[in-house]
């Protein structure tokens, strides 16, 4: 299907999409904060600037949007039909960058957790809480 917006309008819409303080991020933050966990936001000194940083627990959490990070098998991770070559290069580049950042964090001794936008429900949030608070196995 052809895009319903002209090029300039579509560009403006895409530029307005936020990278921080998104609805999925706020949902996760509210849940974990209500359970007594305290964290830092968007760790500037860490590879990939993780969304949540638990320094004492040496754990970081990435809250990924299914489209932007190409969640495998997710109905939200559909490649746009228009300008497909651009989108494929951009989104696979995002995935490669995510993998590189996770490797760098793990090598630095951090535990890396990822939660996907489509998985945000009470069960998955409780599972994330348990993973964050679980003792680190070395």
Domains, the chain, in order of start with CATH, read 21-133 (3.40.960.10)
pTM of the model: 0.84
Coil, helix or strand at residue 34: helix
Query: Tens digits of per-residue pLDDT, 84-129?
Result: 899 999 999 999 999 999 999 999 999 999 999 999 999 999 999 9
* Residue 138: per-residue pLDDT: 60
- Report helix angle 122-133 to 23-34, nearest 10: 60
């Amino acid at each position: 299907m052809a895009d319903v917006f002209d090029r300039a309008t579509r560009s403006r819409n895409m530029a307005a999409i936020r990278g921080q303080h998104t609805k999925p991020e706020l949902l996760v933050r509210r849940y974990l904060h209500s359970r007594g966990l305290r964290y830092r936001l968007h760790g500037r000194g860490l590879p990939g600037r993780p969304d949540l940083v638990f320094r004492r627990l040496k754990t970081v959490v990435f809250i990924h949007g299914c489209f932007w990070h190409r969640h495998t098998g997710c109905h939200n991770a559909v490649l746009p039909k228009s300008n497909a070559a651009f989108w494929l290069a951009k989104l696979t580049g995002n995935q490669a960058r995510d993998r590189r950042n996770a490797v760098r964090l793990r090598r630095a001794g951090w535990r890396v957790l990822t939660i996907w936008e489509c998985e945000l429900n009470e069960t998955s949030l409780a599972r994330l809480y348990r993973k964050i608070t679980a003792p680190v196995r070395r």
